[in-house]
Structure 1
Amino acid sequence: MPIRLMHYVACFYDHLLKGNETTPGRGLPPILPIVLYNGSAPWTAEQDIYAMVHPEPPGFLRVYQPHLRYYLIDEGRYTDDQLGSRETPLSGVFSVENAGQSWEALQQAVDRVVAIIQAAPHKERTDRIITRWMKRHLQRLGAEVNLDQLNSLVEDKDMLAENLENLVKKERMEGRQEGRQEGVESTLRKLVILKFGDIPGWAESCLEQASDTQLDIWVANILTADSLDELFKG
């Protein structure tokens, strides 16, 4: 990233000079390089290209080494409380992106960004820009929302809220189902160990691949089964 930013700055200055926007005599404008990062993994790249120079050059060479530092905005480092204390459209966008794949967290973040837009001084323009971005964001997430009908987060907030609420209900239902299956599998595993001892690899595979129905059958049959073969292969 430091090398890329240095390349961008050099290309920008070259563009200004070739387009006669300025001359070497008039000088080059100052630049603030900014990196906006919204990835889930922690940011690890150096923030100054000089930090990439290894080994440390001797004193007489240091003055000739390149230096370019960029300003990093790492969305994931902002907590919900920090974002909540900044009632700006950008903090609302950060909240939506930080919600990740949780429909419930996304629903709350969307409600917050709608309230921010309604209080914005340039409400119509802000609404138009963020709505366009939101549609792309929901599309990337694979949200089952009719995006063709979403033209304004403010005017269509009820429609969007209803769609997100349906996704939240689906998310909770899938979570409960997954939790139930894990609970049944855990119980069966304990019963098998108590009755037959250590679980061999082939039986472990059976447990991991079993459906809800199959797990229920095994739980009912373990009381009468005389061996693992009879339980799992019968």
Structure 2
Amino acid sequence: MAEHDESYKLLFSHRELVADLIRGFVQADWVREVDFTTLERYAESGVARNLDERIDDVVWRARWGERWLYVYLVLEFQSTVDPYMALRMSVYAGLLYQRLIRAGEITAPGSLPPLLPIVLYNGEKPWTAAETLSALIEPRLPPELLRYQPELRYLLLEERRYGEIDLPADENLAGALFRLENSRLPEEVERVLATLVQLLAADEYASLRRAFVVWLKRVLLPAKAPGAEIPPIIELQEMQAMLAERVKTWTEQWKEEGKVEGRQEGRLEGRLEGRLEGRQEGESAVLRRLLTRRFGPLPQWAEARLRTADESQLQAWADRILDGATLEEIFG
């Protein structure tokens, strides 16, 4: 998992990806006032030297509105749920503020910069930790004591909660990353890569292109197609071409490994190519689950078709689930 975290940190060491993460996933009016052309890594400012390395390489600042304000973005890459994440974020905030004061960045009392703590979570289990520090503190306190308890809230971005309809437009780099993480088919990965190749074609994005390739080779593809041989590729366009060439083979492998319905969700409950066992109702339930994962909540007409279909019709729809781009194509 350390390799996963390091690959992620390499991606988020690029200003373009961090800017798109804020633009696409922080739903607030103040975001429009941030001058993302001034966005810079906090470590590069010379202030974060000697701070805990878990935070100094993922903290950023930018101009906000007409004044020079610090906007700090703390990214924690977690594969498991840390029940005390709110406490950790509070400690990080204190370390940052103390370092700013010692470095002479704060010129007057009461002018500490705003802090935006973000937890980017991509684990399999739902995130269950408290998102505020106050939620971790003994709740049965008299009001006179409760008012003195510390408070901090972080923004949780749980990747698997974002369906296609919830993600920002295709040109958003962070949205593209989420789409790759949540992909169910090699064709979906190939489509996202085609978009990334266009978005990152300029020479100035060479480092970010390589970061995506590193992450694809070390994290995404080994998880989606375990055991598959990945050639020595250094450019994103080469990765797209390679994937296009191997789409058919890898589609069968992903399906065989049970990856079509979600990362490590287990086998396709009966394998939709004729290995579905049990009653017809069970076949319909499995197909409904897979369709919902690909397209979101099903419309009434699709639910009605599933309820009234016989076994042969269900199997015919199951055969189309890998190739159909829309519900209409699958149901014919």
Displacement of 1:77 in angstroms is 0.8
2:217 matches 1:129:
no
In structure 1, which of residues 145, 154, 179 is the aligned counterpart of residue 237 of structure 2?
A: 154
> In the comparison of the two structures, how many residue pairs are matched?
179
Deviations 1:156-213 (A, max 9, x none): 422133345322223445679x7589679x8xxxxxxxxxxxxxxxxxxxxxxxxxxx
Question: Which runs of 5 or more residues in structure 1 are unaligned?
Answer: 100-104, 187-234
1:28-59: CA deviation from partner (whole Å, max 9, x where unpaired):
22111111111121111111111222233222
Q: Which moved more, 1:67-76 or 1:164-173?
A: 164-173
1:22 deviates by 3.3
Instruction: Give 1:68's aligned residue.
Output: 152
Aligned equivalent of 2:113: 29
Instruction: Give, in angstroms, the shift of residue 91 of structure 1.
Output: 1.2
Higher helix share: 1
1:35 and 1:68 map into 2 onto residues whose CA distance is 13
Which aligned pairs between 1:6-45 and structure 2 lie closer than 5 A?
Answer: 6-22=90-106, 25=109, 27-45=111-129
Rate the CA distance shift 1:173–1:11 in 2: closer, same or farther, 3 A.
closer
Q: Please name the residue that 2:194 is paired with.
A: 115
Mapped to 2, the partners of 1:182 and 1:161 lie a distance apart of: 29
Q: TM-score, normalised to structure 2's length? A: 0.46
Q: 2:115 aligns to what SS in structure 1?
A: coil
Identity %: 33
Find 1:93's aligned residue among 174, 177, 194.
177
> What are the residue-to-residue correspondences of 1:132-211 with 2, within 5 Å?
132-138=214-220, 140-141=222-223, 143-172=226-255, 179=271
3-state SS of 1:161 partner: helix
Structure 2 unpaired stretches of 5+? 1-84, 259-267, 279-332
Other-structure match for 1:189: none
CA RMSD, 1 decimal: 3.1
Larger radius of gyration between Structure 1 and Structure 2: 1
Alignment partner of 1:155: what SS? helix
Q: Which string of whole-angstrom CA distances, capped at 9 and with x for unpartnered residues, describes residues 82-128 of structure 1?
A: 337544221121112123xxxxx241332232132133266451423
Counterpart-to-counterpart distance in 2, 1:183 and 1:156: 35
Q: Structure 1 residues 128 and 122 mapped into 2: Cα distance closer, same or farther (>3 Å)?
A: same
Paired letter, 1:17: I
